[in-house]
Structure 1
Amino acid sequence: MLKNLGTARSIFLVAGFALVMGLLGPMPAGADENCREVSLPDGSVKIICQDDGGDEGSGGPGGGGSGGGERTCEFNESEIACSSEFGVWDGRCYARVASPQPPKSTPVWEGNDDGVILECNPPGCVGGPAPCPDRSFYWSPTAPAAPGPSAEELAQRAVAAMNLTMGEIGSTPPASTSDPNAVGTIGLPIWLWIADRAENTVGPITREESDGGLTVAATGTLERTEWTLTSASGATVGAITCDGPNAAGTPYDGRNSAEPSPTCGFGADLNSSPGSLTLTGTAHWVVEWQGGGQSGQITVPPQSNSTQVRIGELQALLRN
């Protein structure tokens, strides 16, 4: 019984101590190496303490670096974005120039006449209301560096540098614009291919973009090519999709014209409409990217190209 009373008394004392400390407010910064004082524009002081006793963060203004061309920022040993709508990560919070700037007579200036007062927003502010209720302010000799582009923004730059497109159309019969006398025969297979083979027409193509210590590599692949054959009235008389390794098609090599393309083309059954037809090829590209410890995929808007072909009928002449 005495032992139980002693235990209860200890619990009571601990609880009482916690209650008193809660009423007195946060401990002074010097009492805990994981706490720091932050002066507010009105002259009051806020104590901010670390949750887990670890480092508050890494990375200087504009995002720290871990080397290797990859920029990373951390808080409580977890990776976070190096910039947000609340500013640039400065190693302890997302910092941005306070607006408006408080009067020079306020304690937050620490007696300085130069420099700038920064608004300090902890990671918990991200995605929340603005202004952040947990923000604080401090003096800095310089404004934070402008945030650099994100990994995805660099990937988009790489895509733009690729100049991905639908190449020139190769077909049997050839386009009438390039050979006015070219006429295909109804009922024969039509071969289809991309004639101007290059990185940006058939792939694969790789580009890199770097900015602010961050490098992103992106590779574009021609995922598929969609082909349509339409009549003068706009009716679709043939449609196929060639994908994967067959997306670029196979150039016609002069073999027996009755043989279908080994990779991409209209079969004889789809070549049944004589006349002047519009042949359209639409390229679908996919770009995979990685950098800065991130990766992703970008679907490029379809790229199209069209040409005219003529299909005729063979006439048999009987003579007596």
Structure 2
Amino acid sequence: MLRSRVKSLVFALFLALGWTSAVIDARADPGDPLCTLVNPINGRCLKWITISTLDGQVTATGSADGGSGPPRVCAYAGKPLLCETALGSWSSYAGAWCRLLPDQPALTDPIWEGRSDGAVYSCTRARFDGLPDPALTSLWWLPAAPEAPDPEVLARRLLASIDFQSPELGIFPRGDTMQRMSFVGWHMWLWAAPASELQWGPVTDSVSEGGVTVTLTATVSELVWDMGNGDSVSCGKGTRWSASVTGGRNVASPNCGYVYAEDGRYTVTGTSHWDVDWSGAGQSGSMPFTLSRDAEVIVGELQSVNR
């Protein structure tokens, strides 16, 4: 039986009122992570680049590729603030986070004060600590929409909300028990066996906020097999083994396979490399990440008996 374990911290993003942050695996060398954007409120890293590997194993990945330029800076009374939250985008005019009211009041409503331009928004003011206070929410007329949210921030938040998984690993001989072990010199077949599009893609999703719509598409570009002995094999989806294709004979996979030279017990790790492209508000970028899954494989030695 295959034993799986998602172990790459990939895009471990914690959401705090609209911000995203990266968590770097503690096993990585201290000099490896390179943060390129920090949340001024809590000091967490908001944008990072891919770090190196440790003993051939990816410990954390991320990307600042395709960034949207300098981040938007928001402040009130000299204090830095989050520009986008679940309660809207920061409006310097209102001194609050505002989002457009879906059903606009009639122009005869007193909130318009005789105006006919602009629009009515639901606006939330900040608490003493600089975070939005839902209790301080009221309707405001604004002459223009709040500053648009950063599309890259929206893309990262959307990416973090999708439950991506590493694909199931197809292996023959399975090698998960002594009865189904593989053998030295035997052509092992390797393939991805995704249970859904969340394990291989393509996955397409979008999010809209503050008048900005961001769409992303994610798909696996390759599956790299670490065979547990220092060797690795880079493949696409591979070909599923079947007795009808091979006739039960020891033949090589047409596109993804491996032959062990020594017997033993090996931990095989399949690492899926995902390509993520996003676009919105006239901007675009990429946010690659990786996910891994393990399988234990027993490889035995064929014995011949002479009579």
What TM-score do you get using the length of structure 1 for normalisation? Answer: 0.49
Cα offset, 1:148, TM superposition: 5.3
The answer to whether the aligner puts 1:252 opposite 2:245 as a matched pair is no
Task: Identify which of 227, 233, 236 aligns with 1:240.
Answer: 233
2:283 alignment counterpart:
294
Maintained 8 Å contact 1:227/1:282:
yes
The aligned amino acid for 1:276 is: R
Counterpart in the other structure of 2:92: 95
Whether contact under 8 Å (2:212, 2:280) holds in the other structure is yes
Paired residues for 1:147-158 under 5 Å: 149-158=149-158
Q: How many residues align?
A: 180
Offset of 1:317 from its aligned partner?
0.3
Cα pair distance change 1:239/1:252, threshold 3 Å:
same
Q: Does structure 2 conserve the Cα–Cα contact (< 8 Å) formed by 1:220 and 1:287?
A: yes
Q: CA separation in 1, counterparts of 2:232 and 2:70?
A: 46
The question of whether the paired residues in 1 share the 8 Å contact of 2:175 and 2:182 is answered with no
CA shift for structure 1 position 305:
0.8
State how far apart, in whole Å, the 1-side matches of 2:71 and 2:157 are. 19
Structure 1 contact 186–313 (Cα < 8 Å) conserved: yes
In structure 2, relative to structure 1, the CA distance for the partners of 1:189 and 1:311 (3 Å cut) is same
AA partner of residue 298 (structure 2): R
AA paired with 1:164?
F
3-state SS of 1:154 partner = helix
Q: Give the direction of change, closer, same or farther, for the CA distance of 1:186–1:82 in structure 2 (3 Å limit).
A: closer
Stretch moving more, 144-153 or 205-214: 144-153
Superposed CA deviations along residues 194-228 of structure 1, whole A, max 9, x for unmatched, are: 22342111211111111122211111021221111
The separation in 1 between residues aligned to 2:275 and 2:185, in whole angstroms, is 35
The answer to whether the 8 A contact 2:275-2:288 is kept is yes
**Who is 2:208 aligned against?**
210
Structure-2 residue corresponding to 1:311: 299
| 1:187–1:272 contact (8 Å) kept in structure 2 | yes
Matching residue's letter, 2:92: A
> TM-score, structure 2 length as denominator?
0.51
Query: 2:220 is matched with which residue?
Result: 222
User: Do 2:267 and 2:294's aligned partners in 1 also have CA atoms closer than 8 Å?
Assistant: yes
Alpha-carbon RMSD: 3.2
Greater relative contact order (CA < 8 Å, ≥ 6 in sequence): 2
Q: Tell me what 1:62 maps to.
A: none
Using the TM superposition, give the Cα deviation of residue 97 of structure 1 relative to its aligned residue in structure 2, in angstroms: 6.2
* Within-5 A mapping of 1:175-190: 175-176=175-176, 179=177, 181-190=179-188
Pick closer, same or farther for the CA change 1:82–1:142 going to 2, 3 Å.
Answer: farther
Contact 2:186 2:250 in 1 (8 A): yes
In structure 2, the gaps of 5 or more residues are 1-68, 77-82, 84-90, 96-139
Deviation (angstroms), 1:175: 4.8
Does 2:190 correspond to 1:192? yes
> Quick check: 2:269–2:295 contact (8 Å CA) kept in 1?
yes
Cα contact 1:86–1:96 (8 A) shared by 2: no
Equivalent residue in structure 1 for 2:269, among 280, 304, 307: 280
Aligned AA (1:95): S
SS of the aligned residue for 2:266 comes to strand
- Structure 1 position 237, deviation (Å): 4.4
Partners of 1:157 and 1:209 within 8 A in 2: no
User: Is the Cα contact below 8 Å between 2:168 and 2:194 reproduced in 1?
Assistant: yes
Query: CA 1:171–1:86 in 2, change beyond 3 Å: closer, same or farther?
Result: same
Q: Residue 238 of structure 1: CA displacement?
A: 2.4
The alignment partner of 1:157 has SS state of helix
Q: Equivalents in 2 of 1:303, 1:289: separation in Å?
A: 19
Shift of the 160–185 alpha-carbon distance from structure 1 to 2, 3 Å rule, reads same
SS in 2 for 1:193: strand
Structure 1 residues 238-281: Cα deviation after superposition (integer angstroms, max 9, x where no partner): 21112xxx2x2221122144222222221x3xx11212111111
Whether the 8 Å contact between 1:206 and 1:220 is mirrored in structure 2 is yes
Task: Please report how far the alpha carbon of residue 95 of structure 1 lies from its aligned counterpart in structure 2 after TM superposition.
Answer: 3.1
